[in-house]
């Protein structure tokens, strides 16, 4: 049986490596990994001559392992720890699948690759090292990786006192600082650690305005400290008076909004489409409910788009992407991500596949929008708000076609109390039909 070692080499200094990892490297036929990890491993096992293969992508490593059966012991080395945002994780999954040990074994398949003994050697992660230098417990920190991916940082920093991020480029801290200032979070303290564990390691400390324009090592770590972090209460129904309004631009009223959001079943990382976003009240509350997700607010009216923008900043919700156009035609002009591909849910580039779709305004395209949603993701949850009997009839026609889906419909009418002098009068809103569509 061949052996593949997955080894974490720590932050960078060979002195940070474990004796077990060094011994495993010394007994290897081949070392593979990125140049930085290879150098650390080579320095730690000095005095030995081991063949090296430089590779970063999982596919490259897997191909080498499978195509070189003569190499009986291969050590794949990774910076940091193999369990913290490490390339060791996808490589292990790929090896298990290739060797038929991923839980999907087919006993009738005789053309199975040779079994591989995968051995894991933990290392000291750069995050652990960084936080220990700052005397901060990892249990108090929200961890984020920005290596090769986009992440909306405002919701995370808004809700957590400590957010620790593995940076992805030299200007990442500068860009986040600019956003923090725009969203009214200029008091956030930022600490950046570079060249961790090396003799020339350095720490830079400053507020957001001091960090604008500064460049840092792309493999650095940044800690965002927000003493004014607000612990979120996951509930719906922000008062209508708290939203910016523009004459003629509709808003989904508080009580209807709360019930509609409940029916969407939003998670912390959901991808939510708000079709016919209007003033953006649904988009804002969905964004607050899904700090690690993304809201795509679709709106054709420029006054409405301007209102959504103002509400984004007022509620410090940067995980809203506005798409101008009429759905679903506007989507055909844009590239969509592939199913399961959601690591880069940015404000430009391909649109993500929806988990939830709210339709508050369809511009006569209700059937087309529903078809687009279920074709994009058969497991999507759709919530539709309709006011007219004609729209309700259209929903019932859609129900006849989508026999694989549940349609739950409820008509509600909210009646509030208004003070009129010394009296309180009932004030009734128009009845709304809320429809939830989900796969059986």
Indicate the pLDDT class of residue 348, thresholds 50, 70 and 90.
confident
Asked whether the whole model's pTM tops 0.85, one would answer no
User: 57: which DSSP letter?
Assistant: S
Please tell me the predicted confidence (pLDDT) of residue 101: 66
Choice among 58-72, 88-102, 121-135, 307-321 with the minimum mean pLDDT: 88-102
pLDDT of res. 420: 87
Per the CB < 8 A criterion, the answer to whether 264 and 275 are in contact is no
By the 8 A CB rule, do 269 and 156 touch?
no
Note the pLDDT of residue 105.
Answer: 46
Question: In Å, how far from its chain's centre is CA 39?
Answer: 32
Is the pLDDT reported for residue 341 higher than 60? yes
Q: What's the CA angle centered on 201, arms 198 and 203, to 5 degrees? A: 155
Q: What is the pLDDT of residue 191?
A: 97
pLDDT at 112 over 70: no
Give yes or no for a contact between 240 and 289, defined as CB atoms under 8 angstroms apart. Answer: no
> What is the pLDDT at residue 111?
44
Indicate whether 106 pLDDT > 80.
no
Average pLDDT over residues 247-266: 94
Beta-bridge partner residues of 340: none
d(CA 356, CA 274): 9
CA distances, 432 to each of 239, 365, 379, 412 (Å): 18, 19, 25, 5
187-229 pLDDT, tens digit each: 999 999 999 999 999 999 999 999 999 999 988 999 999 999 9
DSSP string covering 84-130: SS-THHHHHHHHHHHTT-SS---TT----PPPEEEEEE----HHHHH
Whether the pLDDT of residue 335 is over 60: the answer is: yes
* CA 7 vs CA 41, 61, 79, 119, 436: distances in Å: 9, 14, 9, 8, 48
Query: What is the rounded distance in angstroms from the CA atom of residue 292 to the CA atom of residue 397?
Result: 36
Q: Which of 395, 376, 375 is nearest to 385 (CA)?
A: 395
How far, in Å, CA of 117 to CA of 335, rounded? 41
Give the per-residue pLDDT at 343. Answer: 60
- Residue ranges of domains in the chain, CATH in brackets: 2-124 (3.40.1010.10), 127-225 (3.30.950.10), 240-439 (3.40.50.150)
Q: Sorting pLDDT into bands at 50, 70 and 90, what band is 333?
A: confident
pLDDT band at 108 (very low <50, low <70, confident <90, very high): very low
């Amino acid at each position: 049986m061949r052996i593949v070692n997955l080894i974490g080499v720590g932050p960078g200094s060979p002195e940070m490596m474990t004796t077990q990892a060094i011994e495993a490297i010394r007994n290897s036929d081949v070392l593979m990994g990125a140049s930085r990890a290879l150098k650390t491993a080579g320095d730690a096992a000095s005095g030995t001559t081991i063949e090296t293969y430089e590779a970063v992508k999982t596919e490259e490593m897997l191909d080498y392992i499978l195509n070189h059966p003569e190499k009986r012991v291969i050590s794949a080395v990774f910076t940091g720890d193999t369990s913290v945002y490490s390339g060791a994780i996808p490589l292990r999954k790929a090896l298990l699948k290739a060797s038929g040990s991923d839980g999907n074994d087919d006993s009738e398949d005789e053309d199975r690759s040779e079994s591989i003994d995968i051995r894991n050697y933990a290392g000291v992660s750069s995050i652990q090292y960084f936080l220990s230098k700052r005397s901060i417990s990892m249990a108090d920190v929200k961890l984020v990786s920005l290596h090769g991916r986009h992440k909306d940082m405002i919701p995370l920093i808004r809700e957590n006192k400590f957010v620790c991020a593995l940076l992805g480029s030299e200007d990442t801290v500068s860009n986040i600082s600019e956003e923090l200032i725009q969203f009214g979070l200029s008091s956030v303290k930022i600490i950046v650690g570079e060249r961790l564990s090396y003799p020339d390691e350095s720490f830079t400390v400053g507020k957001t305005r001091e960090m604008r324009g500064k460049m840092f090592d792309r493999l650095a770590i940044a800690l965002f400290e927000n003493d004014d972090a607000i612990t979120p209460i996951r509930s719906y129904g922000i008062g209508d008076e708290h939203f910016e309004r523009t004459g003629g631009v509709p808003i989904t009223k508080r009580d209807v909004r709360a019930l509609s959001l409940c029916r969407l079943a939003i998670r912390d990382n959901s991808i939510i489409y708000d079709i016919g976003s209007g003033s953006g009240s649904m988009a804002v509350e969905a964004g607050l409910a899904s700090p690690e997700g993304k809201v795509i607010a679709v709106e054709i009216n420029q006054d409405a788009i301007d209102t959504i923008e103002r509400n984004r900043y007022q509620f410090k919700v940067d995980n809203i992407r506005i798409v101008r156009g009429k759905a679903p035609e506007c989507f055909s002009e844009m590239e969509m991500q592939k199913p399961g591909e959601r690591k880069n849910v940015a404000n430009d580039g391909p649109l993500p596949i929806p988990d939830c779709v709210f339709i508050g305004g369809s511009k006569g395209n209700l059937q087309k929008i529903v078809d687009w949603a279920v074709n994009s993701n058969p497991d999507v949850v759709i919530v539709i708000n309709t006011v007219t009997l004609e729209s309700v009839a259209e929903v019932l026609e859609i129900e006849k076609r989508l026999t694989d889906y549940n349609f739950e419909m409820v008509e509600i009418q909210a009646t509030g109390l208004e003070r009129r002098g010394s009296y309180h009068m009932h004030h009734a809103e128009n009845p709304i039909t809320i429809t939830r569509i989900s796969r059986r």
